[in-house]
Structure 1
Amino acid sequence: MIAIVDYGVGNIKNVERAIHHLSYETALTNDPEVIRSSSHIVLPGVGHFKDAMQALKNSGLDKLLIELQNDKPFIGICLGMQLMFNHSAEGDTDGLGMINGEVVPIKTDYPVPHLGWNNLESKHPLLNQDVYFIHSFYVQTDAPIIAAADYGIPITTIVQSGNKIGIQFHPEKSGDYGLEILNQALKGGFIHD
């Protein structure tokens, strides 16, 4: 069973529907015991970094997620990806610190937020089509970047560090292709020894 962490930040139901569509059993939950007993943890999110971190702290889920981060596959989507990193300039707030990196504003000649469809660039054979983005901040990291997107600057779109995967775009809004990517992430990701 896949635990989708419910901490009051938007877009959670869409992620749940997408994972159900892939025929996985899910639990939309903030119950620590359900999260502990899950096979995977998915941390979705839309909104402001500082507010999301405060919601995780208020519920105590921040400590639980840090504790469990190496025990099972952990997938952060959109804001959930950003929360996995050390710090964000959005609200000058520390994140969960699961993967080394900083969340910084997108500085480009293109319109911000980065909104709409953009092509993935990757050496991985699956990661070569358009996906749907909406964000104003992105991750700078020394962790393995599996895919990027060109938005006047290279935007980190998928990272994988061990069992932890961050996905900046919305796979649940990216049609069948997004579902393929989400399924690959749930099956272990994009790095194989």
Structure 2
Amino acid sequence: MKIAIVDYGSGNLRSVSKAIEKIAPISTQVLVTGDPEEVLKADRVVFPGQGAMPDCMKNLRTTGMEEAVRDAIRNKPFFAVCVGEQMLFEHSEEGDTPGLGIFPGDVVRFASDRVDQTGARLKVPQMGWNQVTQTREHPMWNGITNGAWFYFVHSYYAKPTEADLTVGTTFYGEEVTVAVARDNVFATQFHPEKSAAAGLALYQNFLTWNP
């Protein structure tokens, strides 16, 4: 089995590859690649993203990876992470940037006046650990406790316009969508590669998920 981690100049690639290599069978090829042909030939694709949405979308297009990513989204198990998840949506407030338009909805910024249950102002970006509520069953959640802790670093988050896209939420001043899924695509705002055992379990599930 070949796992392609898409390198378009905007991802936390080494951490992702090391996490997958840690749990993958020895026969699995884990390949960080900027070659569209390698993405097309892969059995499964991981699509990380890090940094500003305008830069990520620009890099995806200028490196020639967009069509290979779109092909993977149509045809094979596909796991998008952080800004990779945001890029699946129609539009982001960050730089007034069009996304890939795979899922209906927008990416919006946390309000600066957001407060927690005690009335204390919440920092933007959300940085650190938070609990994720699984809002519906999905094979990618197998063996992961509902309410497990995952690691976040983000100022923007996706707001799907179709409720059934959401499979996970967290509370940060209000309930926020942090995991979405449809057909062969699963995507998270949090970083599984930085989320200890729960994150490794998510990548383990991805290796055996057959949508």
TM-score interval (norm. to shorter): over 0.9
- Give the match for residue 7 of structure 2: 6
Q: Name the amino acid aligned to 1:76.
A: A
Q: Name the amino acid aligned to 1:37.
A: K
Say if 2:175 is the partner of 1:174. no
Say if 2:154 is the partner of 1:135. yes
The 5-angstrom pairing of residues 31-180 of structure 1 reads 31-107=35-111, 108-109=114-115, 110-123=122-135, 124=137, 126=144, 127-141=146-160, 142=162, 143-180=164-201
Matched-pair identity in %: 36
TM-score (norm 1): 0.92
- Asked if 1 retains the 8 angstrom alpha-carbon contact of 2:40 and 2:71, the reply is no
TM-score (norm 2): 0.85
| RMSD, matched Cα | 1.6
Shift of 1:69: 1.5
Say if 2:204 is the partner of 1:183. yes
Q: Name the amino acid aligned to 2:129.
A: W
Of the structure 1 ranges 61-70 and 133-142, higher mean CA displacement relative to structure 2 is found in 61-70
Find the aligned partners of 2:147 and 2:46 in 1 and give their Cα distance: 23
Per-residue CA distance 1:74-124 (angstroms, 9 max, x = gap): 110011111111111111111111222211101222111011010111254
Over alpha carbons, which structure has the higher Rg? Answer: 2
Q: Name the amino acid aligned to 2:69.
A: L
Residue 168 of structure 2 aligns to a residue whose secondary structure is strand
Per-residue CA distance 1:34-53 (angstroms, 9 max, x = gap): 11110011110110000000
Q: Which runs of 5+ in 1 are unaligned?
A: none
Q: Which runs of 5+ in 2 are unaligned?
A: 116-121, 138-142
- Asked if 1 retains the 8 angstrom alpha-carbon contact of 2:92 and 2:98, the reply is yes
Per-residue CA distance 1:135-188 (angstroms, 9 max, x = gap): 000000014211100001112111101101111101100101111122223432
The alignment covers a number of residue pairs equal to 190
